[in-house]
Structure 1
Amino acid sequence: MTQTPFHRLEDFLRLPRLGGLRLSPDGTRLVTAVATPDPEGTRFVSALWEIDPNGERPARRLTRGTAGERAPAFTPDGDLLFTAARPDPEDKAGDEEPPPALWLLPREGGEARLAGRRPGALSGTSVAARSGTVLVSAMTLPGAGTAEEDERLRAARREKKITAILHSGYPVRFWDHDLGPDHPRLLVAAPSGEARLDWRDLTPAPGSALTETSAEISPDGHTVVTGWRVAEPNGGGRASVVALDVPADDADPVRRVLLDDPGYEFFRARISPDSTTVAALRERRTTPTSPPRTDLVLVPLAGGAVRELTAPWDRWPADLCWTPDSAALIVTADQDGRAPVFRVDAGDGTITRLTADDAAYAEPCVSPDGRWVYALRVAVDAPAEPVRLDAHAADQRPTPLPGPAERPALPGTLTEVRTEAADGTPLRAWLVLPDGEEPAPLLLWIHGGPLTSWNSWHWRWNPWLMAARGYAVLLPDPALSTGYGEEFIARGWGAWGGPPYTDLMALTDAAIALPEVDGERTAAMGGSFGGYMANWIAGHTDRFDAIVTHASLWALDQFGRTTDSANYWLTEMTEAMAEANSPHRHADRISTPMLVIHGDRDYRVPIGEALRLWWDLQERQADPATQPHRFLYFPDENHWVLSPGHAALWYETVLAFLAHHVLGKELEVPEALR
């Protein structure tokens, strides 16, 4: 058998992971961030690498900081800005844990220098393409008017070991971190040569309006466009887009509302190169009976009427960027288990699909002459890699560029499974088959979201690790998955235990009918919403030999009000919906061995879901000594389980549980858990 990086967890975890892509103003340099484990193997650290857009030179590493570098952005002169938590070489006090600051690596090379810092973390760098004005987001305590006041207040909290936060609104958490006590503010600074940037606060009292938003500065540096959270009476809020006009003197900036509608959320705003138009994604807000819908809209930067650009298109635009002539936008969108690149004419909305392969694309950027689109190509059978596309050619194959890492060899092959639902709806899934001639035991993997698709590479849920151990892995897109049209999502909206469940069973039936699959040895696995479906399956069928449920929803009456975004989930999750679709109501019917996995720092699906699930399983066991279930608990992990050591332990535990219940082997508990 050919050995691949997927046969040993240590080799898999060492594979480089690319993220982000930025193009220099002259189009001669691409930069990406590459994450690998640190020397101790306890965390992933990212470094910046340069890629040749012409595909002639090999990729080269630019940074080597021990804490890692991220979020690259180019100045008009070609210098490279990035954020990093490095010590300030001029700080004699030597801050042991400095917050992320802004660093500059000269175009001609050499040592990076500190370009600007604040007491709180800096992030979200945007640079005006012509003026060179720098925009950042800076975490600042509400009572601080200046950086000095911010530092004084932080020092007082540190000295007294105060971590408490006083909230006056909602939300208070987001995914894996607490919100507050500081809030983001937007700062700008003019180019300063060798001197450090002199920040100017554009939003001195934003409250939580800038929380989890993004911002961009116009090419001339005169206007900043940013997301802006609007508080609402129900404790939630909606996402709007505003423009901040940056005055030449010390006067306060003028804030103008560009996009705001109680029926929609607006996000990912992008300013056209000619500084006349803002493109943004508009998402229809949900109701208990209607799912969201995402469109691309345009609005004048000066303010005015909103124009829908993709209203007839039954797909959801995602990543977007302008072409240099401001005549079109390059976007990505989920479609039929892929996520192609599309060109959208800004005048008449004509949509041209640029890519025709079985891949998903991200981070598109266009060359200054408008000829090329650069992007990261990622697929179920290939991790992210840089590619080049013709910006005008339809249905093309990408040209790979020499990147920081070669594509790893795989221990199997990828194919598709297609069938129909009971109502005649076409269904499809990816199927990973291991090398070998014997029928393989089947693992049904259910994606999270639920508004997403199995259309790209996953590091945390990687089917090729399972293929290396002889399993076939089914990656289905049931009702609620994106890329199949609005009606496909509507089939499962508010009915999680209905079409999503029956679609999964129909695709499982289609997979086990194949001669390559052993339908007598099967397991179901899922995380987040996929974990919800795993729990629902456990209470509705005993066809599987084992079930793994990770970060899962169990009791919907409890989940809806304890998640970090209750205002969103309770819109769909009415009392009637929760009653009809909650897995905990079917606990008495569970007979399949279950492995429950959860991190205590998961705020999207709080630990209470796992604790309640575990108790509901345990109180139904006649003999605790022989009960088949297990609970893998991570006190300091979040929704995803991110550290290399814990990720390896996650896979070791899952593989041992499956080997015992699916393959009939003795249960071998990982050494670290004995």
Structure 2
Amino acid sequence: MAGTTEALPFVGHAEEGASALAYRSVMSRLSLDDLYRLAIPSDPALRPDGGAVAYTLTTADRASDENHTRIWLAAPGAEPRLLASGSAARWSPDGRLLAFLKPVDGKPQIHLLPMDGGEPRPLTSAPLGAGVPVWSPDGTRIAYAGPHGEPDPHAPVVADRLDYKADGAGLLRGVTTQLFVVPVPAGEEPGEAVRLTDGDFHAGQPAWSPDGQRLAFTAGMQPDGDLVPSAAVYAVDAAGGEPKRLTGPEVICVGAWWLGTRLVVAGLPVPVGHTRLYVLGDGGLEEVQTGLDRNVMVGHPGYPGAPPLLLGGDLVFTARDGGRTHAYAVPLDGTSPARKLVGGEVSLSGLSAAAGRIAYVATSPDSAGDVHLTDPGGGVAPGVRLAAYRLDGVELFAPRSRTFTAPDGTPVEGFLLRDETLSGPAPVLLDVHGGPHNAWAPVFDGAHLYHQVLAARGWTVLTLNPRGSDGYGEAFYTAALGAWGLADADDFLAPLDELVSEGVADAERLAVTGYSYGGYMTCWLTTRTGRFKAAIPGGSVTDLSSMAGTSDAGYFLKEWECAGEVVAQSPITHVADVATPTLILHGENDDRCPVGQAEQWFAALRERAVPVRLVRYPGASHLFILNGRPSHRFDYNERIITWLEQWVTGSPS
């Protein structure tokens, strides 16, 4: 596929902006079948000379029922072109090679693509697969964090600590994530990867020191790290040896990057709170004073953002502000507060810098993601769009922001998705985000397609960022700790009351849904009120007591999120008060919110003759609604719509 182009099932090149989009003469509204036309860009990598951007494009294939990832290249004045199948593209320091991950026999392996022509060639053949490639400063080696061990699927699983499983991976069976270095050969023959670390811990993404002699990484090596949240930054010699700890216990480190000559660290001073940026100095970690009461977003599945990077003398990072994820720059010397580089009604999900330029991927109200290039110092017009991925011929409803008032006077931001030409009270679906420290944004949501479908059918979809949500300051972020269902419930009910009083919502046609914490709140709200005609909890939490001992994050949830108050705050404790027809959707292999949570709620409602249905998705982990089988994601969306129309706007059958 090297150097080829491919017709896109969506609108591509858009350097000229929205006017370049080839819309059909007759626009239509989104349908669930558009899941198979969606293309979502991510992980931009700006070439060292700043002239082109490589990025990953993810699509869903109906025939194979798989998600496909391909690497594309975009540059000013040119149509994007397909480079290869794979993901996680990373440029060599001279820009002549592109390293990326491509599956071989089901395991991701690092490949090298020569940019002057030729086919990709494999670099690694790791038994359990390799991780994201990280080039050494001189381009002669690549480091990665990858799985290590010899798992036996038939052997007994012996655990001495709580962290013996992980959502998406299942039972770890002694497999840990360790650091490896592999030489980049001059010829065709791949080199041999050398493992640098070993032990009962998981090494984070490596970062090369400027001289190429050491690798920094984060890890939790404390014997009781499964009970006390703790992680530090370590450095290991690139030729091997014992890792040396660089940071103390005052910060829980979640990432480390050598930027220029400084080691920049992202971490939290407390288990639940804002992530901050630090620089490692002679006296330890020194916090970078951004002047923002906002959470730094370094990027995780389901959470937008990107690792920090260096642009001249500025540290560039992403942070959430009111649900939107923006890019900021702050001088490393702390001489002035952070300034916003990229803002507006967008949410950034990738960031890269080179030659004084920045490339980023941004989701907007009318796109699941576009690739942009900008030059903060001039030279490239701000916001040049290199590649756009809007659905051809589809007109999307745009979320409208408004602020509601909770009973205690606290402002709560929400977003209304509806056909603005409608008049009179409409059926309303309240959708609760997960986390609980995530946030809804006023952008097109490629995972929750039922939002657009329902809006086209006369519904109003209400998404809210209640106490506990990210983007509104740390006090707001931590306001529901130890008080799930108590501090936050009215943040949902009061906005509904406002919409009913305004004549926007029909009090007799209200429904509630949500995923993860949103599933918890869906169940909780139906224990508090009978106003909802239908409820659809997904990936839910119903019994915090059993959750503490069965989830891969259960102990953390019990001790730090719920402060040990698990019985009174469990929906199952109050299930006798539920009469709402309930559809329960859950992944069979969910280790974050185990399927037993759904089973308990299903059994309790069935025993009480409450209309209830349980749907279990085989092989699906907690994040299947984002990255699972396309058929499962389609089914999830479709079942929500069908249940709502059966119990809210139609007649029960």
**Shorter-chain TM-score: which interval?**
0.7 to 0.9
Q: In the TM superposition, what are the counterparts of 1:221-620 in structure 2 within 5 Å?
A: 221-233=212-224, 235-236=226-227, 238-247=230-239, 252-261=240-249, 263-273=250-260, 276-286=261-271, 291-300=272-281, 304-310=283-289, 312-318=291-297, 319-325=306-312, 327-348=313-334, 350-368=337-355, 370=356, 372-379=357-364, 381-391=366-376, 398-403=383-388, 409-434=394-419, 436-439=421-424, 440-455=426-441, 456-462=443-449, 463-572=451-560, 577-620=565-608
Instruction: Tell me the TM-score normalized by structure 1.
Output: 0.85
* AA partner of residue 177 (structure 1): A
Closer/same/farther in 2, CA of residues 131 and 16 from structure 1, 3 Å limit: closer
Q: What is the aligned counterpart of 1:32 among 55, 74, 87?
A: 55
- Is residue 272–residue 322 contact of structure 1 (8 Å, CA) maintained in 2? yes
Q: In the TM superposition, what are the counterparts of 1:191-210 in structure 2 within 5 Å?
A: 191-210=184-203
Distance 1:350 1:573 in 2: 31
Answer yes or no: is 1:58 the counterpart of 2:79: yes
Structure 2 unmatched ranges of 5 or more = 1-23, 298-305
* Higher deviation after alignment, 445-454 or 640-649: 640-649
Alignment correspondent of 1:639: 622
Q: In the TM superposition, what are the counterparts of 1:68-107 in structure 2 within 5 Å?
A: 69-78=86-95, 79-86=97-104, 97-107=105-115
Q: In the TM superposition, what are the counterparts of 1:6-25 in structure 2 within 5 Å?
A: 7-25=30-48
Q: Give the superposition deviation at 1:383.
A: 0.9
Q: SS at the partner of 1:364? A: strand
Q: SS at the partner of 2:592? A: coil
Instruction: Tell me the TM-score normalized by structure 2.
Output: 0.88
Distance 1:29 1:373 in 2: 11
* AA partner of residue 354 (structure 1): L
Deviations 1:146-191 (A, max 9, x none): xxxxxxx67xx5xxx6365444433012222222333222111333
* AA partner of residue 286 (structure 2): R
Q: Give the superposition deviation at 1:297.
A: 0.5
Structure 1 unmatched ranges of 5 or more = 87-96, 142-152, 622-626, 668-674
Q: SS at the partner of 2:431? A: strand
* AA partner of residue 55 (structure 2): T
Which structure ranks higher in relative contact order (CA pairs < 8 Å, sequence separation ≥ 6)?
2
Q: Give the superposition deviation at 1:388.
A: 2.5
- Is residue 200–residue 221 contact of structure 2 (8 Å, CA) maintained in 1? no
Q: Give the superposition deviation at 1:380.
A: 5.0
* AA partner of residue 631 (structure 2): G
Q: SS at the partner of 1:297? A: strand
Deviations 1:475-518 (A, max 9, x none): 10000001111121232121111231101112222333445543
Q: Give the superposition deviation at 1:204.
A: 4.4
Closer/same/farther in 2, CA of residues 164 and 50 from structure 1, 3 Å limit: farther
Q: SS at the partner of 2:481? A: coil
Q: Give the superposition deviation at 1:438.
A: 4.0
* Higher deviation after alignment, 489-498 or 531-540: 489-498
Distance 1:436 1:554 in 2: 39
Distance 1:413 1:36 in 2: 23
* AA partner of residue 228 (structure 1): A
- Is residue 380–residue 454 contact of structure 1 (8 Å, CA) maintained in 2? no
Closer/same/farther in 2, CA of residues 425 and 126 from structure 1, 3 Å limit: same
Q: What is the aligned counterpart of 2:166 among 157, 162, 174?
A: 174
Deviations 1:377-400 (A, max 9, x none): 11354311111334359xx97332
Q: Give the superposition deviation at 1:575.
A: 7.3
Answer yes or no: is 1:114 the counterpart of 2:122: yes
Distance 2:173 2:72 in 1: 33
Closer/same/farther in 2, CA of residues 593 and 385 from structure 1, 3 Å limit: same
Distance 2:62 2:489 in 1: 44
- Is residue 448–residue 527 contact of structure 1 (8 Å, CA) maintained in 2? yes
* Higher deviation after alignment, 187-196 or 403-412: 403-412
Closer/same/farther in 2, CA of residues 323 and 572 from structure 1, 3 Å limit: closer
Q: SS at the partner of 1:292? A: coil
* AA partner of residue 8 (structure 1): S
Q: Give the superposition deviation at 1:541.
A: 0.6
- Is residue 296–residue 318 contact of structure 2 (8 Å, CA) maintained in 1? yes
- Is residue 411–residue 435 contact of structure 1 (8 Å, CA) maintained in 2? no
Q: Give the superposition deviation at 1:224.
A: 0.8
Q: SS at the partner of 1:124? A: coil
Closer/same/farther in 2, CA of residues 450 and 4 from structure 1, 3 Å limit: farther
Q: SS at the partner of 2:307? A: strand
- Is residue 432–residue 519 contact of structure 2 (8 Å, CA) maintained in 1? yes
Q: SS at the partner of 1:58? A: coil
Distance 2:247 2:79 in 1: 43
Please tell me the root mean square deviation across aligned C-alpha atoms, in Å: 2.5
- Is residue 307–residue 317 contact of structure 2 (8 Å, CA) maintained in 1? yes
* Higher deviation after alignment, 399-408 or 595-604: 399-408
Distance 1:409 1:517 in 2: 26
